[in-house]
Structure 1
Amino acid sequence: MNLDGMKTMQNYILFLFFLVLNINIEAQNSIQQALSNFVKDPVNRSAAISFQVINLENGKEIAAYQPNLAITSASTTKLFSTAAAFELLGAQHRPSTRIYIDGKINEDGILKGNLFIRGGGDVSLGSKYFSDQGTELDFLTSWVDSLKKLGIKFIEGSLIADGSEFGYSGVPDGWDWNDIGNYYGAPARGLNFYDNLVKVNFKTFSPGSKSAIVSVYPEVPGLHYKNNVYAASVSGDNSYLYGAPFSLDRSAEGKLPANQSSFEVKGSMPDPEFQLALELFKALAKAGIQVEDGYKGVRTNSTFSNRDYTKMTLVMEHFGKTVEEVAYWTNLKSVNLFAEGLLNQIGFHFTGDGRTTSSLTQIEKFLQKNIDTKGLVLQDGSGLSRSNAISATHFTSLLTYMSKSTNAEAFKRTLPIAGVSGTLRNLCKGQAGEGKIIAKSGTINGVKSYAGYVESSTGKKLAFAITVNNFTCSSTQIVDRMEKVLNAMAQY
């Protein structure tokens, strides 16, 4: 090649270099411009915003705005509890519920002693996410069949449910009174079943008239709702259920559509431990097995506080769903109970203490080893607590760590796809971000958040987080504005 040819080739290579550089700068500028427009929007004049997007291939920041500002992030918090469960417990870890007896079964089939249900924190037991509708309590039939095979025909003692290894505290710090009586505010316990909820059926009449409570399922002895729900010209459920954990005195407020023969509203179950004892008691009675001294929960019966399982006989063990299976629904449908259950499993696995405080200590140790946790505050596993404080950098650091984990693909499979599935099914629908973003969303009053991964139209792999607090428009309107930033990343 002569000198002129070499110069031509050099000029061509330089042209390509600057062309690619210019394209990258323009793409980066498009994200920064979309972000700038979002920040300057009048609805965000008093808002707290934290944003960061990084290139997973080289770890470099592409665009950011107050990335270290730790603020309330709602359900994107679930990324921390699910990631920690994958890493600390393993994708195939399964909790179990065990049944013990503390006496002998004689030749007449009489159990000379008590029957204990020992909770292991399984949140999948009788859950609608793992059962066909109407079959959620079929596990009880399976338990009864197992006991019948042991030859038990009569129990001379009591049936005792024990979830004490996970404590009996109320709810995690920062949970709102307006949430805890509703189904999505049901805390995880040592014994959980039927998603720890009750279904309250209302009958409504003409607009302006008070509704009537027709039934509650499962039937909870002594449960009473002070009913202030009225019929109105509304299209959906505008009612709320209120009540403290373990309390049977509750209230119902709000409005429901008029002239409905049956309208179902879901609330939190007051005491799943006691309720499970009752449901098994009824299932045993239906099978002809009587329990002489009835059913009890350890929380309300100090008589059984000195029980020793090492001196009892384990007669049955029921294994729950795996971490991977539970985490899938946790992130896809944003199931608060499952997130709290995964969190509590971590503390229980490492210390035998499944309380939220113990479990958060274990997660914090894990995070401190793997990401910069300065400014990070976690009070629960679900994001229902407004006391959580998480920055965009905390999220992208976690997402970067998980992208290199042996659990990376399993973790990513739990995340909804923009415009396609779960809580993101309507996000970026028909736009550039559809199918290119997988992320966890977060929504509580005045808070909107997204955090996850992007595979852009040019093949780049990104991790991002965007959270805004205290915007002055509707949730739908803030999402419309956030989509412009998300679409810009998808086109990077």
Structure 2
Amino acid sequence: MFFPLLRHLILTGILLVVGSGWSQNSVQSAIDVFANDPVFANASVGFLAIDVATGDVIASKNPATCLSPASTVKLFSTATAFQVLGSDYAPKTRIYIDGTIDSKGTVNGNLWIRGGGDVTIGSRYYNAEGIEDTLLRVWADTLLKMGIKQINGAIIADASEFGYQGVPDGWSWSDMGNYYGAGPSGLPIYDNMLRYVFRTGVTGSKTTLKETIPVIPGFSFHNYISSGGSGDNSYIYGGPYSLDRFGTGTLEAKTNRIVVKGSLPDPEWQFAQEFSRILKGRGIAVRDSINTARQMTWVSPAVRYGSMKMLIEHKGKTVGSVAWWTNMKSVNLFAEELLCWVGYSAYGTGSTDNGVTKLENYWTGKIPVSGMFIKDGSGLSRGNAISPQHFCDLLKFMATSKNFDVFYGTLPVAGISGTLSSVCKNQAAEGKVHAKSGTMNRIKSYCGYVETKGGKRLAFAFIANNYNCTSSAVVDRMEKVFNAMALY
């Protein structure tokens, strides 16, 4: 009786030791297998997973190597906005007149729209399709209720307090004409997006541009898009403030209406155009043509608006609301505007450069930032370079912040929501990984938190650059690492 019992106890002990060792090394084994895959023979791979509570390293692979992170940069943008501005901060858009209103309801002067970077005006994330201009109509009705019937002047849009860089440094020519390459503005409208409506013919024939939404007077589109293939394989080229756009590629053949999304050339100008159109539609006459502050001599806001009369002040959506869309759906424009809000709050001008400067200054001393390079808010710039260690330091810091709950709530959940809804579906990591994804040409990344089977919360960063396979093949391999972390 003694020897069988002893044998049982010894075997049980061995299994417990082996099981414990497997648990401790399974994540490291998984990342080692990943990195040794032939498709990464010429690639750069970085990985780090830490215990948020203790800071202990669970597994790593080149954790200090700075890599191109793509959209996971949005973690820095949203975290900075939460920390610097607070989740309840909201930008303001104001309407002024620089003249008087007479007894007949005539404004003897210009009507100014002073932008504060409210990215939600006309946004498809906050407005139903077809009624994106609802807020502008509300403003027009407000002016009517004030008795205003005519404007003996111009509608002037002013986005000057956010600068006129157009797009951040490092953005590619192949990106900035497309909808995801729309740059930030002091007066964003309709997600700074231009919809091209095409009709296609038989395979090989030229497509026909039926209309653009919104309409842009003076707009010129050079159409080299042909009919053929399946779906939308077209690309739009064009820079900020240019009314020339070029289209290449293919669109599905024999389709009466197919919509391609591009970037709006000049949001400030378009804002004035749209509001002028709505005012006239509501019966308010506007004598002069529209204008923008970019086309006028610069004057400081304090001087420009000091003697004007403010008629309307609109408070936009909060940091918390915009950040949710930013991370959940990876909205580039929202990330850029959040960073600009940070710069505006800190320095009075909401440029990307000011936002980056405040971001760097805020995190210096809170986490190690040496060797980290951030050039924009969305991750579209190829000039971004961030290590897994930088990301994990940020995530560990945020885990103890008063803003953690709202920050954590913006992150997509594996197999359930946002850009991670199809990742680890029906696998061990489903519902356990809360992370931001990043995807660009030859770049795949995920950074966030894992709630493990053993009751721990891990912070992790996983970046792969220049791999020799498809993006979906990289995700398939990354899922094995996610599952190992979830089972830890």
Q: TM-score, length-normalised on structure 1?
A: 0.95
- Which string of whole-angstrom CA distances, capped at 9 and with x for unpartnered residues, describes residues 184-240 of structure 1? 0000100001000011001000001110000000001111110001111x2211000
- Which string of whole-angstrom CA distances, capped at 9 and with x for unpartnered residues, describes residues 388-435 of structure 1? 000000000000001101110100110000011111011011111111
Distance (whole Å) between structure 2 residues aligned to residue 381 and residue 164 of structure 1:
20
Which residue is 1:201 aligned to?
A: 197
Cα distance change of structure 1 residues 21 and 407 upon mapping to structure 2, 3 Å threshold? farther
Which residue is 1:241 aligned to?
A: 236
Residue 304 of structure 1 and its aligned partner are, at CA, apart by: 7.2
- Which string of whole-angstrom CA distances, capped at 9 and with x for unpartnered residues, describes residues 301-345 of structure 1? 338789610111111011111000000000010000000000000
The structure 1 residue matched to 2:370, chosen from 359, 374, 380, is: 374
Residue 446 of structure 1 and its aligned partner are, at CA, apart by: 0.4
Which residue is 1:472 aligned to?
A: 468
**Identity across matched positions, percent:** 49
Residue 170 of structure 1 and its aligned partner are, at CA, apart by: 2.8
Distance (whole Å) between structure 2 residues aligned to residue 316 and residue 20 of structure 1:
70
Distance (whole Å) between structure 2 residues aligned to residue 409 and residue 170 of structure 1:
34
Q: How does 1:44-123 map to 2 (within 5 A)?
A: 44-123=40-119
Cα distance change of structure 1 residues 476 and 112 upon mapping to structure 2, 3 Å threshold? same
The structure 2 residue matched to 1:226, chosen from 218, 222, 230, is: 222
Q: Does structure 1 residue 441 correspond to structure 2 residue 432? A: no
The root-mean-square deviation of aligned C-alpha atoms, in Å, is 1.7
Q: How does 1:136-285 map to 2 (within 5 A)?
A: 136-232=132-228, 234-285=229-280
Structure 2: 5+ residue stretches without partners: 1-8
The structure 1 residue matched to 2:320, chosen from 318, 324, 347, is: 324
AA partner of residue 356 (structure 1): T
Distance (whole Å) between structure 1 residues aligned to residue 252 and residue 154 of structure 2:
45
Distance (whole Å) between structure 1 residues aligned to residue 443 and residue 92 of structure 2:
36
Which residue is 1:489 aligned to?
A: 485
Residue 18 of structure 1 and its aligned partner are, at CA, apart by: 9.0
Residue 112 of structure 1 and its aligned partner are, at CA, apart by: 1.2
AA partner of residue 279 (structure 1): E
Which residue is 1:398 aligned to?
A: 394
Q: Which runs of 4+ in 1 moved over 2 A?
A: 14-25, 301-307
Distance (whole Å) between structure 2 residues aligned to residue 184 and residue 74 of structure 1:
13
SS at 1:238 equivalent: strand
- In terms of mean alpha carbon deviation, does 349-358 or 293-302 score higher? 293-302
Which residue is 1:9 aligned to?
A: none
Structure 1: 5+ residue stretches without partners: 1-11
AA partner of residue 230 (structure 1): S
Q: Does structure 1 residue 339 correspond to structure 2 residue 343? A: no
- Which string of whole-angstrom CA distances, capped at 9 and with x for unpartnered residues, describes residues 227-272 of structure 1? 001111x221100011010000110000010000010000000001
Whether contact under 8 Å (1:152, 1:289) holds in the other structure is yes
AA partner of residue 215 (structure 2): E
SS at 2:365 equivalent: helix
Which residue is 1:7 aligned to?
A: none
The structure 2 residue matched to 1:354, chosen from 350, 356, 374, is: 350
Cα distance change of structure 1 residues 229 and 423 upon mapping to structure 2, 3 Å threshold? same
Cα distance change of structure 1 residues 190 and 18 upon mapping to structure 2, 3 Å threshold? farther
- Which string of whole-angstrom CA distances, capped at 9 and with x for unpartnered residues, describes residues 77-127 of structure 1? 000000000010000100011001111111011111111000001111110
- Which string of whole-angstrom CA distances, capped at 9 and with x for unpartnered residues, describes residues 276-299 of structure 1? 101110111111111111211111
Residue 23 of structure 1 and its aligned partner are, at CA, apart by: 3.9
